[in-house]
């Protein structure tokens, strides 16, 4: 099992790069935005994953997300509570997500 923290996010980043060669991958820990919320379980994290990959050209959004989930494996092993995914092909504009202040 992978523990949470910077080393785990680095491993997650590497898993995504292996699954999507030639892609731009970014893993952002958004946990600090949710600390103190009643729904935030202790020891679990909120992550944002951004992948820009040629593999996503002409691929529906749902399939892009499914491929990312397959690449990272079971979320429980990553100690994730919430995962936000931005998956786009080169040249596409990523879909906007609500800012934390609007949630």
The pLDDT tens digits for 38-74 are 554 555 677 889 999 999 999 999 999 999 999 988 6
pTM (predicted TM-score): 0.74
Considering the four listed CATH numbers 3.50.50.60, 3.30.300.90, 3.40.140.10, 3.40.50.450, the one that applies to the domain covering 6-91 is: 3.30.300.90
d(CA 22, CA 102): 34
pLDDT at 101 over 50: no
d(CA 23, CA 102): 30
Give the tens place of pLDDT for each residue, 13-37.
898 999 999 999 998 887 766 555 5
Q: Where are the domains of the chain?
A: 6-91
């Amino acid at each position: 099992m992978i523990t949470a923290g910077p080393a785990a996010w680095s491993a997650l980043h590497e898993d995504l790069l292996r699954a999507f060669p030639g892609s731009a991958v970014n893993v952002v820990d958004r946990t600090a935005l949710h600390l103190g919320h009643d729904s935030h379980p202790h020891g679990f994290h909120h992550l944002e994953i951004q992948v820009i990959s040629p593999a996503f050209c002409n691929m529906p959004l749902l399939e892009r997300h499914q491929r990312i989930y397959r690449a990272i494996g079971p979320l429980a092993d990553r100690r994730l509570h919430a995962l936000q995914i931005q998956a786009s092909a080169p040249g596409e504009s990523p879909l906007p997500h609500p800012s934390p202040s609007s949630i």
